[in-house]
Amino acid sequence: MATQNGSGVGPPSIVVNDLTIERSGTRILTDVSFEFGPGTLVGVVGPNGAGKSTLFEAISGRIPIHHGSAAIYADRPLNQGSVAYVPQRDSINWRIPVTVEDVVMMGRTNSKGWLRRYGREDRELCRQSLDRVNLWDRRSALMTELSGGQRQRAFIARALCQEASVLLLDESFSGVDVGAQEDIVQVLRGLRDEGKIILLATHDLTNLAERFDICLCINKHVCACGPPEEAFTPQVLEELYGSHGVVFATGGSSHSHEEPGRTPVQEQHEDTHPVHD
């Protein structure tokens, strides 16, 4: 079982040690270990089915751990909302008609528990959180009316309203244009500079060195963990993406009719049926 300890006082940290997860008799993650301290923005990369979503679910306590541990040390107990988890958009029921403000206020429920009423302090924190992501003017809009980038910023605002120390964002760049991605990155950098730990799972390998302090490369186990310029060696890319990864690393081409601007890694993702990790 996971060892999740929020009794410590001070800056947040994540310590994952020999984490192993199985589902329906299938090994999803094997002996995953890493440690991140406060003020860290981490890009979690790997192919479909690599275990990225499973890792986030284990860290946030949503699934059991079969071996090893995932420990969060934060400035307050986990049951008071120290960890905010934003799942893939395909996991969210968009048919429920909720406003942006409704979604952000859910962060107060996560932080303080279900059996309480929202007070002036809660609503002020909601306003500040929406201001932070430039969505206060859209607070009355339905979530279904927002663009992909605006939806992701709304979920980040919910995490802010939750006062989480650790943010786990699963494929927050999916379906989001480059300009909106940069807006999200700017918000996340601000949170990092305040001492929060942010892990963002992504398939997009563009501008990783500019966006993230650390890259955690996963393909059912940790292939590499470190600064992007050190993590993405040809060997690691091959371990992640096979021969496509080597072509990507060397700047070559294994296809005579590639479309301009598309990397072999992007082609692999497009050719793979989407599955949850």
Domain holding 20, by residue range, is 13-267
Is 275 part of a structural domain of the chain? no
Q: Residue 60: which region, alpha, beta or left (left: phi > 0; alpha: psi -120 to 50)?
A: alpha
Q: For 110, list phi and psi in degrees, rounded to 5.
A: -65, -35
Is 48 part of a structural domain of the chain? yes
Say what the pLDDT of residue 57 is: 93
> CA–CA separation, 213 vs 167, rounded Å?
15
Mean pLDDT of the region 123-145: 94
Q: Which residue has the tokens 């979690």?
A: 44
Give the pLDDT band of residue 268 (cuts 50, 70, 90): very low
Is 153 part of a structural domain of the chain? yes
User: Which segments within the chain are labelled E, that is strand?
Assistant: 13-23, 26-36, 40-45, 67-73, 83-86, 166-170, 197-202, 214-218, 222-226
Is 252 part of a structural domain of the chain? yes
Q: What is the mean pLDDT of the chain?
A: 81
| Residue with more model confidence, 117 or 68 | 68
Is 272 part of a structural domain of the chain? no
Say what the pLDDT of residue 171 is: 87
Mean pLDDT of the region 92-121: 77
> CA–CA separation, 135 vs 150, rounded Å?
8
Tokens of 186: 């700017």
Nearest CA among 99, 74, 96, 66 for reference residue 5: 74
Say what the pLDDT of residue 33 is: 97
Say what the pLDDT of residue 272 is: 39
Please state the three-class secondary structure of 183-200 as a single string.
HHHHHHHHHHHCCCEEEE
Is 131 part of a structural domain of the chain? yes
pLDDT of 144 > 80? The answer is yes
Give the CA angle between residues 119, 123, 129 to the nearest 5°: 145
Is 224 part of a structural domain of the chain? yes
Mean pLDDT of the region 95-106: 89
Instruction: Name the domain count of the chain.
Output: 1
> CA–CA separation, 157 vs 129, rounded Å?
5
Least confident range of 123-127, 139-143, 261-265: 261-265
Read off the pLDDT of residues 177-189 as tens digits, 9 standing for 90 and up. Answer: 888 888 889 999 9
Tokens of 75: 């400035």
Say what the pLDDT of residue 267 is: 41
Say what the pLDDT of residue 264 is: 39
Longest Cα–Cα distance of the chain, Å, equals: 62
Is 60 part of a structural domain of the chain? yes
pLDDT of 247 > 80? The answer is no
What CATH number does residue 108 fall under? 3.40.50.300
DSSP string, 197-225: EEEEEES--TTHHHH-SEEEEESSSEEEE
Q: For residue 142, what is the DSSP state?
A: B
Least confident range of 97-106, 186-195, 234-243, 258-267: 258-267
Nearest CA among 215, 166, 197, 165 for reference residue 37: 197
Q: Which residue has the tokens 């700047």?
A: 251
| Contact between 198 and 162 (Cβ < 8 Å) | no
Read off the pLDDT of residues 145-162 as tens digits, 9 standing for 90 and up. Answer: 998 889 889 999 998 998
pLDDT of 94 > 80? The answer is no
Burial state string for 251-270 with b = 16 or more CB within 10 A and e = fewer than 16: eeeeeeeeeeeebbbbbbbe
| Residues near 95 by beta carbon (within 8 Å), at least 6 away in sequence | none
Give the pLDDT band of residue 75 (cuts 50, 70, 90): low
